[in-house]
Homo-oligomer: A and B are copies of this chain.
Amino acid sequence: MKKHLVLIDGQWRQSAGQQYFQAVNPKTKEALPEQYPVSPWSEVEEVIAAAARAAETVRSWPGSRFAEFLEAYADLIDQRSGELVEMAQLETALPAVPRLKDVELPRTTNQLRQAAKSARDGSWIEATVDTAANIRSMLAPIGPVAVFGPNNFPYAYNGAAGGDFASAVAAGNPVIAKGHSSHPGTTRLLAEAAHQAATATGMPNGFVQLIYRMGHADGVKLASHHSVGAIGYTGARSAGLVLKEAADKVGKPIYLELSSINPVYMLPGALAEKSATLAEQFAGSCLAGTGQFCTNPGLIILMAGPHAEEFIKQAVEKFKAAPVGTLLGEGVQKNLQAGIAELADHGATVLTGGSVGGGAGFCCQNTLLRVKAKQFVGAPEALQTEAFGNSSLIVVADDEAEMLAVTRCLEGNLTGSIYSAADGSDDALYNKIVLLLRQKVGRLLNDKMPTGVAVVAAMNHGGPFPATGHPGFTAVGFPTSIRRFAMLQSYDAVRPNRLPAVLQNKNPTGTLWRRIDGNLTQADVPATS
């Protein structure tokens, strides 16, 4: 049984730790043979120190250097895609095709390449020049970024390859990747490619590092360490809040993606027009990837009536008929069970499913629950428990007032969707709901399920707490997501030759957009100033 190495300060080397762990194949529930180390604090400290040195080395490098690394890395991932798909399928039980090979892996390399483009064109930098006051400002790297990846996207959110990684690097920051324990092999393969790309493109030792696991107390120490610039975390709420408390205490930016139940409203007119289509869209969205998406539709809000009953009936049928997918692991299965139990304990009725089993390995029946709006409003916190996986709760309101009351109770979410009639008959209600819902979600959708997350500049994969830790930022989309890992730096009367290239009079690329004396322009700063 091979004991794997950690990547520290430019070297793959044996961990100083004594403990090792193994991933589990979710399909067979058997431990995979390879062993991965748990790093002790002394090792984490070495990682931080190496990252800090790397940060100083690359501080003044042009964005093109980071772009070259990101592009080389994306190319290497493409080259190793067969190996990566095989490993991720083994560790996560996600379908090789289309999910891993044709969707998530291309998304991941696309993200790295988009980040490279932003690093090169400086579109995230917000360079600003005020000539009369002789003050200039820009966004600049915040310092080493520790990225904690989640279980559900072995590539696209991986600490060593995902969106946080790409954003942090695009801003010029070294990354300390913390792999998720459910897919260490996939993370290792990615980090190998990253290390190879880093070497090939001349990045310093310590620019990309990987540790697989550490004690919880050491995670807290990492998140609050003075040499760490920021933290990106995607995962369970409980662990995320522990890191958040530690980082907050020392005023360190931490960007979290914690949980979201993604309310979907199906207004009466829309249901009247096409309840069968909506039931099909809903079931497809909720059960894809065994429901293990951050944007999974976990809460459906309906107005009582025959069309609602028809929708529910059809949704139940589809949930029953659909094959039961495998979950990412035992923990996910346990949490899903606990979540369903919590909902049921607070008055929700199980319409279908609700029990462990029904498929291969770790799994749980496709589950639909139902609750009255009155009950929801009476126990809003419990009834917004995230049952992460192939499960959803339907809330049925008796009237408009109840539907609005439900909306007022909603916590912050990544997304909120409203289906309304094509003929405009739902518009008055839509307007009332959206006035409340808009402030509670990062992304508002019309007539569409929330599970697709396009990697475009206007995407907001973010939202108010507890979906994330700050509603002003997105984890997906370039150049926007880069801003999280930047600090604002102003230069006041700094001598011209000492200014960063992007703030000097001459536009360094000829195409960089800058705000000069209040006007966005690609021109040079007038020479007289």
Residue ranges of A at the interface with B (Cβ–Cβ < 8 Å): 56, 59, 123, 126, 128-130, 132-133, 135-137, 139-140, 142-143, 229, 244-245, 248-253, 412, 415, 430, 434-435, 438-439, 442-448, 450, 454, 456-460, 462, 464-466, 468-474, 480, 483-484, 486-495, 498, 513, 515, 518, 520
Q: Which residues of B contact A136 (CB under 8 A)?
A: 458
Copies of this protein, total? 2
Q: How far is the CA of A59 from the CA of B434 in the complex (A)?
A: 11
Min CB distance, A35 to chain B, in Å? 37
Smallest CB separation, A83 vs chain B (Å): 31
**Set of chain B residues within 8 Å of A466, measured between Cβ atoms:** 251
Q: Which residue of B lies closest to A522 (CB)?
A: B520
Other-chain residue from B59, B459, B494 in contact with A444 (beta carbon distance below 8 A): B494
Q: How far is the CA of A425 from the CA of B248 in the complex (A)?
A: 42
Q: Contacts A251-B464, A465-B251, A488-B462 given: A494-B446 contact, CB under 8 Å?
A: yes
Tell me how far the C-beta of A121 lies from the nearest C-beta in chain B, rounded to whole angstroms: 9
| B483 and A472 contacting across the interface, CB-CB below 8 Å | yes
B435/A59 in contact, CB under 8 A: yes
Contacts of A515 in B (CB 8 A): 457
Q: Nearest-CB distance from A500 to chain B (Å)?
A: 10
Closest to A434 in B: B498
Tell me the smallest distance from the CB of A325 to a CB of chain B, in Å.
Answer: 25
Report whether A488 and B464 are in contact in the complex, using a CB–CB cutoff of 8 Å. no
CB–CB B130/A457 < 8 A = yes
Which chain B residues lie closer than 8 Å to A137 at the CB level? 457-460, 474, 480
**Given A470-B253, A472-B487, A474-B488; A493-B439 close (CB under 8 Å):** no
**For A56, what are the chain B residues with a Cβ–Cβ distance below 8 Å?**
435
**Alpha-carbon gap, A492 to B430, bound state (A):** 15
Q: Which residues of B contact A493 (CB under 8 A)?
A: 445-448
Assembly CA distance A248 to B465 (angstroms): 10
Residues of chain B with a CB closer than 8 A to A470's CB: 251, 253
Complex Cα spacing A443 to B495, Å:
14
A-B contact pairs, 28 of them (CB 8 A): A59-B435, A129-B458, A130-B456, A130-B457, A133-B458, A135-B443, A135-B454, A137-B480, A139-B472, A245-B248, A248-B248, A251-B465, A415-B492, A439-B487, A442-B487, A442-B488, A442-B489, A444-B489, A444-B490, A444-B491, A444-B494, A446-B494, A446-B495, A447-B493, A457-B518, A460-B489, A462-B488, A464-B487
